[in-house]
């Protein structure tokens, strides 16, 4: 009798180096000192004086920093006071002909002009010190009436001395997050009602080295914020009015057509999706956060419709104007967009955002709408804004600091089922070069079905608007199997032409070469480690300094049916586990004459914070999931 044996082999990662924070010796550049002084006027405009000296420590920094560029708005002025290279006791001043002032070209249609100052330092070599002193006057700010600064300090930059002083004609508010060890303060703060000075008390450098799946822990760096707004309700009303009045203005003809189509829908989600999908066909997205007349304000609806392009602010007010006509309460919102964006721990009213979206409400239900995507997904949340802090711009001092809903594993599912039929060596082997068993090959014929449900379907929605079905077929097959051994493949019918996110399902077939894996129990077929389980196979230990970056929360299921072989089990195999980070389950059982291997991984979080990685609970969970969800060799006898 032919037997089917499941042989598990745990593959442990062997550390080759210890994860660590970068040390000063790792830095290519050192900031010997930086002193900044900002004088803030009542309307938020300011004058900035900077004196800074950097030291070239490694060859790579000669190219990266020997030519320095400073970008400023068209209305701002720049005065270079002094720039020079210091090599030991000799100084080499930057000549006027090595300083260039010019308009800055953009990669797409721009709404505002920008200027760039380029400074070429002479005689730059390892050991050089580049000294720069300049004044910058800013007579127009992005949010008229508001001055703010919100930034991390020492992130990928080796700071030896650093000071920032801000003097203001109006009261200042500040907040500092200081991760000094054992309560030791790294930032010295001196403040009065209209002045604040921050000084670094000792050199500081934060950069992650030699670590897999690394994500910067926001609590590992210094954060500083200063603002003239006492609370989020104090965001200048002129900016909020710019959004509110635009959304209340007369709809251009193009937008009236979208409104008419949306009115044909009965459900609110369908109305939103119809609006955003038709808007994406009407207006082209050109980029984030572009300034309009020096401010973070949208253009007029007529201008947006006439030009046929817009940025995130334009898309938000365009969508809002139509939804407002459909009976929704709508407000613009600012959010930090991007899967790798590190969210500041500070809560003060100093914006730390890079994207505008739309907050809508109707019949007690809230909707967080990002119409800049090529897809429409009012029934869910896009992963690059999920769980992020957001300021909802509501008039009359009622702006709210809210959190976009987190993405949940139960709202997105990936499922695959595949039946494998083997033609093995014992049924007529084909011989390759050489005589060893590793050159004996057979083939596998597979057929099955797959589904992308809920938010798991977002990435493939509307894909046929940019690719052919043949290309997409290969994309699906490459996701299902290692294509290196594929001989043929076929994917069934599906439609990915709609911009509105909906579940995707289809069937597939493929044939691949099969070179049996040799074990002491016999030769067999290798089932790879589940992708989502493999994300957790990283080095831990007390040297780990970063958070662990995973993927979007999702429920992932796969089923392998091994057909055409007699199977003998002494008992079924099952293992499972649960944790705050992921759940997992594996079952191997007999189903008639077939063997059935079923895996499920539920990924609950996109990032595991560094503090949680150091716990005994996570170490046990990692050992359990690696022990259960291993590579599997299905052995035939």
Note down the domain range covering 94. 23-205
Cα 289 to Cα 33, 142, 337: the distances in Å are: 32, 10, 11
**At 290, which CATH number?**
3.10.620.30
212 in a domain, yes or no?
Answer: no
The predicted-structure confidence for 349-368, as pLDDT tens digits, reads as follows: 999 999 999 999 999 999 99
Give the residue from 577, 603, 569, 573 showing the smallest Cα distance to 588. 573
Q: Using the structure block, give the residue that is written with the tokens 């809002």.
A: 320
The answer to whether residues 53 and 167 belong to one domain is yes
The answer to whether residues 189 and 246 belong to one domain is no
Which of 184, 205, 226 delimits the end of a domain?
Answer: 205
38 in a domain, yes or no?
Answer: yes
pLDDT > 70: percent of the chain: 91
The predicted-structure confidence for 554-568, as pLDDT tens digits, reads as follows: 999 999 998 876 655
229 in a domain, yes or no?
Answer: no
Phi and psi for 492 in degrees, rounded to 5?
A: -70, -165
Q: Using the structure block, give the residue that is written with the tokens 């613009």.
A: 332
Quick check: 406 pLDDT over 90?
yes
Q: How many domains does the chain have?
A: 3
**At 175, which CATH number?**
2.60.40.3140
pLDDT band at 425 (very low <50, low <70, confident <90, very high): low
The answer to whether residues 85 and 115 belong to one domain is yes
Phi and psi for 67 in degrees, rounded to 5?
A: -120, 110
135 in a domain, yes or no?
Answer: yes
What is the model's pTM? 0.88
pLDDT band at 114 (very low <50, low <70, confident <90, very high): confident
485 in a domain, yes or no?
Answer: yes
Q: How confident is the model at residue 566, as a pLDDT? A: 62
The answer to whether residues 307 and 165 belong to one domain is no
- Give the angle 475-211-345 at the CA atoms, nearest 5°: 95
Residues 518, 498 contacting (CB under 8 angstroms): no
The predicted-structure confidence for 92-102, as pLDDT tens digits, reads as follows: 999 999 999 98
Q: How confident is the model at residue 506, as a pLDDT? A: 97
Which of 182, 205, 228 delimits the end of a domain?
Answer: 205
The answer to whether residues 380 and 460 belong to one domain is no
The answer to whether residues 569 and 426 belong to one domain is yes
The answer to whether residues 519 and 543 belong to one domain is yes
pLDDT band at 261 (very low <50, low <70, confident <90, very high): very high
The answer to whether residues 373 and 420 belong to one domain is no
The answer to whether residues 92 and 119 belong to one domain is yes
465 in a domain, yes or no?
Answer: yes
The answer to whether residues 189 and 329 belong to one domain is no
Cα end-to-end span (Å), the chain: 8
The answer to whether residues 160 and 39 belong to one domain is yes
Phi and psi for 478 in degrees, rounded to 5?
A: -65, -30
DSSP-based three-state secondary structure for 92? strand
Q: How confident is the model at residue 99, as a pLDDT? A: 94
213 in a domain, yes or no?
Answer: no
230 in a domain, yes or no?
Answer: no
pLDDT band at 30 (very low <50, low <70, confident <90, very high): very high
The answer to whether residues 201 and 245 belong to one domain is no
> Residues with Cβ < 8 Å from 51, sequence gap 6 or more?
33, 34, 35, 36, 132, 133
The pairs formed by 36-41 with CB atoms below 8 angstroms and a separation of 24 or more are 36/163, 36/164, 36/165, 37/165, 37/166, 37/167, 38/149, 38/164, 38/165, 38/166, 38/167, 39/167, 39/168, 40/147, 40/166, 40/167, 40/168, 40/169, 40/170, 40/172, 40/228, 41/169
Q: Which stretch of 43-47, 201-205, 220-224, 430-434 has the lowest confidence by average pLDDT?
A: 430-434
Which of 181, 205, 229 delimits the end of a domain?
Answer: 205
Please tell me which residue, 636 or 471, carries the higher pLDDT value: 471
């Amino acid at each position: 009798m032919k037997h089917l044996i499941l042989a598990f082999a745990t593959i442990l990662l062997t550390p080759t180096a210890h994860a660590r924070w970068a040390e000063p010796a790792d830095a290519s550049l050192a900031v010997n000192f930086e002193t900044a002084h900002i004088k803030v006027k009542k309307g938020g405009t300011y004058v900035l004086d900077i004196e800074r000296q950097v030291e070239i420590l490694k060859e790579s920094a000669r190219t990266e920093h020997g030519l320095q560029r400073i970008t400023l708005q068209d209305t701002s002025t720049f005065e270079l006071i002094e720039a020079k290279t210091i090599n030991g006791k000799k100084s080499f001043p930057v000549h006027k002909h090595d300083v260039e002032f010019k308009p800055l070209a953009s990669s797409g249609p721009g709404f505002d002009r920008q200027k760039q100052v380029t400074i070429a330092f002479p005689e730059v070599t390892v050991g050089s010190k580049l000294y720069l002193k300049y004044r910058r006057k800013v007579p127009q700010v992005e949010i008229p009436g508001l001055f703010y600064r919100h930034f991390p300090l020492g992130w990928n930059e080796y700071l030896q001395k650093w000071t920032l002083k801000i003097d203001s004609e109006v009261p200042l508010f500040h907040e500092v997050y200081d991760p000094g060890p054992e309560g030791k303060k790294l930032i010295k703060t001196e403040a009065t009602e209209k002045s604040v000075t921050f000084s670094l008390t000792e050199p500081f450098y934060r950069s992650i080295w030699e670590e897999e799946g690394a994500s910067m822990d926001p609590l590992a760096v210094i954060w500083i914020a200063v603002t003239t707004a006492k609370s989020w309700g104090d965001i200048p009303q002129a900016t909020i009015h710019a959004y509110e009045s635009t959304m209340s203005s007369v709809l251009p003809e193009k937008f009236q057509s979208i409104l008419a189509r949306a009115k044909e829908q009965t459900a609110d989600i369908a109305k939103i999706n119809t609006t955003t999908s038709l808007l994406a066909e009407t207006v082209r997205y050109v980029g984030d956060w572009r300034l309009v007349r020096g401010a973070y304000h949208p253009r007029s609806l007529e201008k947006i419709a006439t030009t046929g392009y817009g940025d995130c602010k334009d898309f938000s007010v365009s969508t809002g104007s139509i939804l407002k006509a459909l009976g929704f309460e709508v407000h613009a919102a600012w959010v930090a967009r991007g899967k790798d964006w590190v969210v500041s721990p500070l809560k003060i009213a100093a914006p730390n955002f890079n994207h505008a979206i739309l907050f809508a409400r109707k019949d007690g239900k809230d909707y967080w709408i990002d119409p800049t995507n090529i897809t429409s997904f009012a029934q869910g949340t896009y992963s690059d804004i999920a769980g992020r802090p957001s300021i909802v711009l509501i008039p009359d001092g009622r702006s709210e600091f809210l959190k976009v809903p987190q993405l949940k594993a139960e709202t997105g599912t990936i499922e695959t089922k595949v039946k494998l039929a083997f033609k093995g060596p014992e049924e007529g082997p084909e011989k390759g070069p050489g005589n060893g068993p590793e050159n004996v090959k057979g083939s596998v014929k597979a057929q099955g079905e797959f589904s992308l449900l809920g938010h798991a379907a977002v990435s493939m929605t509307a894909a046929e608007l940019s690719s052919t079905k043949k290309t997409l077929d290969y994309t699906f097959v490459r996701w299902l199997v290692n294509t290196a051994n594929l001989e043929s493949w076929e994917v069934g019918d599906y439609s990915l032409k709609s911009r509105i996110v909906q579940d995707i399902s289809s069937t597939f077939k493929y044939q691949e070469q099969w070179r049996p894996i040799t074990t002491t129990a016999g030769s067999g077929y290798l089932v790879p480690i589940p992708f989502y389980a493999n994300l957790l196979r990283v080095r831990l230990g007390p040297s780990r300094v970063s958070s662990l970056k995973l993927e979007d929360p999702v429920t992932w299921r796969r089923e392998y049916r091994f057909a055409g072989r007699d199977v003998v089990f002494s008992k079924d195999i099952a293992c499972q586990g649960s944790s705050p980070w992921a759940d997992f389950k594996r079952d191997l059982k007999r189903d008639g004459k077939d063997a059935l291997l079923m895996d499920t991984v539920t990924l609950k979080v996109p990032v595991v914070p560094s503090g949680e990685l150091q716990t005994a609970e996570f170490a046990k969970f990692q050992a359990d999931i690696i022990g259960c969800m291993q590579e599997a060799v299905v052995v035939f006898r």
